[in-house]
Copies of this chain bind each other. A is one copy, B any other.
Amino acid sequence: MDITAVNALNYEDFVSIFGNVVEKCPIITAAVWSRRPFVTLNALEAAISEFIDDLPESGKEGILRCHPDLAGRDLQSGTLTRESREEQARAGMDALSSGEASRMSRLNEEYKTRFGFPFVICARMNDKANILRQLTERCGNERAVERERGIEEVKKICRLRLQGLVLCDAPNKL
C-alpha cells in the first residue's frame, strides 16, 4: 500500500488499518484522518506526533496508561493486542525464567506505584537484558522525565507499526 492508497481510504478503513499504531488509542488515528492527504508516510507519522504533543500532560499520561505491562497480566492471560503480543514475544518477554519474571513483575509494580502509569519501551528495539536494565534505571527518574520518555517510546512503537503496515515497495513515494 503506497501513500496514494492510504490517502484514498475512507475513515472507517483508515481506522480499521491504522487504529492501533498508538496502542488502544484509535482516536488519534481517527483524528489525523482530518489532515489527509499525506505527502509521505513520514507526514502521516508527523501528524500523529503533533497530535500527541498537543495533548495536555494528563492526555499523555492517558496514552501511557493504555499500554500493557511488559510480561504482565495481559501477556499471561492472552489479552494483549496482536501488535503488542508480537512485539513482546520478539523481545523474549514470553520466555522469561522464573527469576526474570519475578524481577520484571516487581519492577513493573514499583514503576507504576511511583509514576501512576506503566513502563513503556519500544520492545522491538531492545532485548530482554536491555529492557530489564532500563526498567531498573528509569524507576529512579522524575515523573515528568518519565512521562516524556514514555511518549518518546510510544512514537518509536508507532513508527515501526506504521512501517509494518505500509510496505515500502517504492520508498521514494513514501
Measuring CB to CB, which residues of chain A are less than 8 angstroms from any residue of chain B? Answer: 10-12, 15, 24-35, 51, 54-59, 61-63, 65-66, 112, 116-117
Check A54 against B56 for contact (C-beta < 8 Å).
yes
Q: Which of B12, B30, B56, B117 contacts A61 (CB 8 A)?
A: B30
Check A27 against B59 for contact (C-beta < 8 Å).
yes
Copies of this chain, complex-wide, total 2
Check B116 against A65 for contact (C-beta < 8 Å).
no
Q: Tell me what chain A mostly uses at the interface: helix, strand, loop, or mixed.
A: helix
Most B-side CB within 10 Å, residue of A11, A33, A51, A116: A11
Instruction: Return chain B residues, CB-CB under 8 Å to A31.
Output: 55-56, 58-59, 61-62, 65
Supply 16 further A-B pairs (C-beta < 8 A) apart from A27-B28, A27-B66: A10-B112, A11-B65, A11-B116, A24-B27, A26-B66, A27-B27, A27-B63, A30-B65, A31-B56, A31-B59, A32-B62, A33-B65, A33-B116, A34-B62, A35-B58, A51-B58
Instruction: Return chain B residues, CB-CB under 8 Å to A62.
Output: 26-34
In this complex, what residue of B is CB-closest to A54?
B56
Cα A12 to Cα B65 in complex, Å, equals: 7
